[in-house]
Amino acid sequence: MAVPYTFATATSSIPLSQLDANFATAITLGNTAVYLGNTTTSIGNLTLTNTTISSVAVTFPNSFLANSSVTLGTTNVSLGGTATTIAGLTLTAPVLGTPTSGNLSNCTGYTTANLSGTISNAQLANSSITIGGTSISLGGSSSAITNDITIHGLTVGLGGGSDTYTTVVGVGAVAATNSGGYLTAVGWNALAANTSGSQNTAVGLGALKTNTTGSNNSALGVNSLQSNTTGSANVAIGQLALQANTTASNNTAVGYQAGYTNQTGSSQIFIGYQAGYTSNPTSGGNTCIGLQAGYSLTTGIGNCFIGGGGNSSGYYVTTGSKNTILGSFGGNSGGLDIRTASNYIVLSDGDGNARGIFDNSGTLSVGTTDNGGANTGGFELYNGSGASRLYIGHVTGTPNGTQYVVFNYNGTSQIGSISQSGTTGVLYNITSDQRLKTNIVDAPSGNIDQIKVRSFDFKSDNSHVEYGFIAQELVEVAPYAVHQPENPDEMMAVDYSKLVPMMIKEIQDLKQRIATLENK
């Protein structure tokens, strides 16, 4: 038999046509006879040992993989079977698609950046993350994180202490080792240096930044109470309010740069934009309310300035103390300068004009800033040199008869006045208009002969009166000229002017008798 090919020398495929009947003997694989040249699609009961399947063109049904398995992590998984839990598996930078069932148990080595779908809570069972020293189970819950945490550089927690009543939110807030309690710090470096100060509230960048032991302070605004160290019970609301305050206590400042320069002055109130801006006394007690009220104060203490608008109340007062200004008087205008003066009370209008003034001697000036009676208008109740008096001024050119004083009854009924007489005198007027009178007749003859004219000395100072009356005697003759108080313990008084009409009547009668005698 001729053999065209030998297997030992074959270098290419042998066509089936070249295989004669001598090769028609079958071989058995498993329980299946396989003939050369034929096509077999199924082999039964065949066991493959240490075999690598490099490619499969068709799908293996589960029944073909019976009794085979693989181990994932520490879990043996039967091929063709079902596994819902795989333990001890480490995934290195995997890409997790959208899971539909099963759990990831104790998995490590993947980041959320690799997630391409949503993982349900149930699928994260037994996994956890650590935040601020606290382990939180994924898919579970935690009611507390035990340590401070940092989010994008922002500290959130208790800061440099362990007080459970302290709240810290901000870079550098309550950064120092702190034994104080009940602190609230929100903002960059808020209460950064606090050591033992307690019950402080700081909200805003740099608020109470350098505070160490000061307590009971409240600062709201950028750099409010920034320089405070040991001062306590201060309130600063507004950017840079009480910015320079260091050791002073019991101050209140509301407004941008209110009380800005104050360092050691205590018990002060500054309300308004730059109110008390340069105030820096050693004691304090100033109250400045209004836009730039008391702006220029330096060492002055105990002042009360209220008002703003076109002008600022007490704006120019520097070292003056214990002054009170109500209104927009700045401290130096209209002839009145109290920048360095003390113990003045000034009532002014919205334009800064002083309308009423009490000086440091107690003199009241209304409508004038002159003192001591040299006024050209207005009036003064003067109190000085041991004697008090009333000054009432008319300006040059005031018409004759213009009244200085008017006495009214029942609102509109004028019953008397004191008026100007030329430029050198005054008139004391009692209302006597005919239109106000009725039953007008000639008066009877007077009883001047019954009036006792006396000389006497006053007991208080032994002053002597050569001609005068005794009220108790005169009341029996001319009661209309005597004031009799309802209280008998009060002193009786005599109005000498009331006797003038009766005296004139007596003179008229006397002249008539003389004329009669002369005609006889």
Half-sphere exposure of 37 (CA within 13 A, CB side): 13
For the chain, the average pLDDT equals 83
**What is the share, in percent, of the chain residues with pLDDT greater than 70?**
75
Asked if residue 248 lies in contact with residue 230, where contact means CB atoms within 8 angstroms, the answer is no
Q: Is pLDDT above 60 for 62? A: yes
Q: What is the mean pLDDT of residues 468-489?
A: 95
Quote the CA–CA distance of 215 and 209 in Å, as a whole number: 13
pTM of structure = 0.67
Cα distance from N-terminal residue to C-terminal residue, the chain: 217
Q: Is pLDDT above 80 for 374? A: no
Judged by DSSP in three states, 202 sits in: strand
Phi first, then psi, for residue 270 (nearest 5°) are -125, 115
Name the one residue in this structure whose structure tokens are 């002017």.
Answer: 497
Show me where the domains of the chain are located.
Answer: 403-436, 449-519
Radius of gyration of the chain (CA): 56
pLDDT in tens, 245-294: 999 999 999 999 999 999 999 999 999 999 999 999 998 899 999 999 99
Name the one residue in this structure whose structure tokens are 């091929």.
Answer: 79
Asked if residue 363 lies in contact with residue 383, where contact means CB atoms within 8 angstroms, the answer is yes
**DSSP H/E element including 410:** none
Predicted local confidence at residue 356, as pLDDT: 93
Give the least confident one: 152-166, 176-190, 441-455. Answer: 152-166
Q: Whose CA is closest to 209, among 245, 238, 179, 233?
A: 245
Predicted local confidence at residue 253, as pLDDT: 98
Predicted local confidence at residue 39, as pLDDT: 74
More confident site: 466 or 58? 466
Predicted local confidence at residue 392, as pLDDT: 86
Residues 6+ away with beta carbon under 8 Å from 426? 404, 418, 419, 420
Q: What is the mean pLDDT of residues 85-101?
A: 62
Predicted local confidence at residue 1, as pLDDT: 47
Predicted local confidence at residue 399, as pLDDT: 92
The band of 152, judged by pLDDT with boundaries at 50, 70 and 90, is low
Quote the CA–CA distance of 43 and 208 in Å, as a whole number: 88
